[in-house]
Amino acid sequence: MSEGIHSQSLIFVGRDLSPGFNMNSSSKVLILKIIIHLGALLPVINLYFLAFADQLGADPVEAVIHFTGIGSLNILLLTLCVSPLAKFLKQGYLLQTRRLLGLYAFTYALLHLLNFLAFEVQFDGMLFISEVIDRPYITVGMLAFILLSALAITSLNRLKRKMGKSWQHLHNSIYLLVLLVTVHFYWSVKSELIAPLFYFLLAIILLAVRHKKLKRLIQSMFA
Ligand code: HEM
């Protein structure tokens, strides 16, 4: 999904820091992708297995919503780590894992939303709409979900080619998306604020690493 984030710097990293993209790099990418598939799929299979076995404690609905929400946020932040890490380690091939990570962030968010629809509002459309309107943290969550869906759908290579420059503009919204999710998280908790604040700080650090690019983006918005 986030293949185009920093597309110029990626080409730079790919060419200068990892010259001669070869089988070796391909094998590394393959191994990383297998690890990502296993790391994302096994916990979620285990979660639903435990849910069906009634092993998720007193409030299984909350446990499932919590797990999928945090899971999506973790993967989103991991996606944002890839580019600085690739530059720091001088391993351009790492960038090829970002699309898969982004798609898993979307999958977890989709499960999070589906759990909410199934267990909190029992697929009642009107109740769902009133929740989105009346509860600000759900409004923000929904905005984040719409944005993440747009990034996931447009991660298809065919769409990327068709969209041209606007693709990069759309995919830059990942920064806004991460901020929306941390606000959603902060707003959703009743008392325990340490975890959402920790995630907010992490997000700010990952954005600060890109301060030059963000400054350019903000300047171009107001130019
Ligand atoms: C990109 C999309 C989203 C992400 C990454 C996300 C992430 C999160 C996170 C990290 C939490 C805190 C987990 C916890 O400590 O319990 C959370 C809570 C929650 N989210 Fe989301 N969320 C997203 C969208 C949505 C949407 C669209 C809805 C519903 C329409 C929603 C409903 C909830 C609910 C009900 C909670 C639990 C609040 C509580 O504990 O009472 N989220 N979400």
pLDDT tens digits, 175-206: 999 999 999 999 999 788 999 999 999 999 99
Q: How many CB atoms lie within 10 A of CB 137?
A: 14
> Which two structure tokens, joined as six digits, stand for 116?
């909410």
User: Residue 60, Cβ neighbours under 10 Å: how many?
Assistant: 17
Mean pLDDT confidence for 45-61: 95
Pocket test for ligand 1, best of 68, 112, 121, 193 (most atoms within 8 A of CB): 112
Gap between the Cα atoms of 162 and 11, Å rounded: 20
pTM tops 0.85, yes or no: yes
Nearest CA to ligand 1 atom 24: 141
Tokens of 26: 């391909």
Distance 41 CA to ligand 1 centre (A): 19
Angle at which helix 60-89 crosses helix 98-115, to 10 degrees, equals: 170
pLDDT at position 14 is 38
Q: What percent of the chain stands above pLDDT 70?
A: 90
- Domain residue spans in the chain? 2-222
Q: What is the pLDDT of residue 104?
A: 98
Ligand 1: centre distance to CA 138 (Å): 7
